Homo-oligomer: A and B are copies of this chain.
Amino acid sequence: MAVLGASGYTGEELVRLLLRHPRAELVAVTSRQYVGKTVAEVFPRAGSYAGAKALQFSEAAPEKIARIAEVAFLALPHGVAVEFAGPLLQAGARVIDLSADFRIKNPATYREFYGHEHGAPDLLGEAVYGLPEIYRDKISDARLVACPGCYPTSILLPLIPLLREKLIDPENIIASSLSGVSGAGRKAEVDYLFVECYESVRPYGVPKHRHLGEMEQELSIAADTTVTIQFTPHLVPINRGILTTLYLAPTALGRDAKRIDATFHGTYAAAPFVRLLGDKSLPDTKNVVGSNIIEIAWRHDPRTGRLLVISAEDNLMKGASGQAIQCFNLMCGFEEDAGLL
C-alpha cells in the first residue's frame, strides 16, 4: 500500500493503521515537506510499529507508486487529490481518496459547493462513495473509492435507513453537529490555537457548509426525492470526535417505535462498526474515540412528536482513516474489521 500526502492528522492516522494492519504492507508514504525523513521521525506515535523506522517519506510519483503498491490512499488536500487519481489509475493502482474530490457525482453540484470546475469529470461516474455499510458490494469491486467526510458519515448512517423506509419527512431534517478540533486539520491558523479553542464552543460555516453537497446527494438517493437539510457544525474543545443530534419529523409509519427499532437493527445487523444504542443509553464521544465505531441512539419525544436520533464517532477513524481502511479491507477481500480492532 501507499499513502500520498501523509502529513496531516488523517494521513498520520492512516499510516498508523496500515502499520499495525495484519494483512497490509505499507511500502510508500509521500509528503513534500518530509522527503527523506522516516515515519518514526515524523510521527512519534507510530514509532513503535515495525517498519516505521525504515520507511522514508518520498515524493509523490504516481507511476513509481503504482509499480510497488496495488492500492494508493490519497490523504491530499481537496483539489490536489484529483491530479493524482487519474495517473495512479492509469498506471494500474486502485485508489482510495480521502479528500472531497470524487464524492459528488454531478459536476454542477461540485461547482456549486467548491466554486470551480471539477478537474477530472470523467472519473466521477466511476468513483464509488466509500460508505461500506451502504455500498459494500460496489466498494469491493471499485477501482476508485471516494471516502465520505467526517460530518457526512455521522449524518448519513443514521438517516439513510429512515429515509429508505419512508419513516421520516425528508423535508424536515435538522442536523446539529459538534466536532473536535482535529477536524480542522493540522493548519497553523490562529482560530485553531489552543488558547482560541480551550474555553470556546462555537458554531461556524453557518448556513452553507461544503459537506452539504455530498450529504444531500446521498440522502436524496435514499429518499428517492431531492432532500435539502439544515446542518450546523459547531467546534468543541476535544481533540477527536463528532456528535450529531438529528431533529426529525416522523411519518405516520415512523411514529411506531418498533418500526424504527426494526429498521435500524435490520439495516445494521451485520455491520461490525455500527453500535445501536436504541433508547437504552446515549452516545458519548469518549466511548468511540480511538475506535472505528459509530454509536446511534434514538428517542421519540411524546411532547413534540419529533424523533431524535443521535450519533457519535471518531472523526479521524470512522469519519476518515478508519473508514478508508474498512473500504480497503473490502477491496482486498479481507475481513471487514481487519486491523481495526
A268 CB → nearest B CB, Å: 13
A76 CB → nearest B CB, Å: 18
A334 CB within 8 Å of chain B: no
The answer on a CB contact under 8 Å between B178 and A289 is: no
Residue of B nearest to A202 (CB): B284
Chain B residues near A208 (CB, 8 Å)?
301, 303
The answer on a CB contact under 8 Å between A230 and B272 is: no
Q: Which of A91-99, A188-196, A217-225 lies at the interface with chain B? A: A188-196
Chain B residues near A38 (CB, 8 Å)?
none
The answer on a CB contact under 8 Å between A194 and B181 is: yes
How many subunits of this chain does the assembly comprise? 4
Q: 1/0 per residue A187-211: CB within 8 Å of B?
A: 1111011111111111110111000
What does DSSP make chain A's interface, helix, strand, loop or mixed? loop
Q: Which residues of A contact B (CB under 8 A)?
A: 9, 20, 44-45, 47-49, 174, 176, 178, 180-182, 186-190, 192-204, 206-208, 212, 228-230, 232, 234, 236-241, 243, 245, 247, 272-273, 275, 281-287, 289-291, 293, 295, 299-304, 306, 308, 310, 312, 341
Chain B residues near A188 (CB, 8 Å)?
188-190, 193
Residue of B nearest to A272 (CB): B48
Jot down 21 A-B pairs with beta carbons below 8 A, ordered by A: A47-B275, A49-B341, A176-B245, A178-B178, A178-B201, A188-B189, A188-B193, A192-B195, A193-B194, A194-B196, A194-B237, A196-B286, A199-B240, A200-B238, A201-B312, A202-B312, A203-B243, A203-B245, A204-B282, A232-B308, A236-B236
Chain B residues near A243 (CB, 8 Å)?
201-203, 234
- CA separation between A202 and B193, bound complex, in Å? 17
- CA separation between A275 and B201, bound complex, in Å? 17
A42 CB → nearest B CB, Å: 12
A192 CB contact (under 8 Å) in B44, B181, B193, B301: B193
- CA separation between A229 and B197, bound complex, in Å? 30
A49 CB → nearest B CB, Å: 6
The answer on a CB contact under 8 Å between B239 and A199 is: yes
The answer on a CB contact under 8 Å between A195 and B239 is: yes
- CA separation between A200 and B192, bound complex, in Å? 16
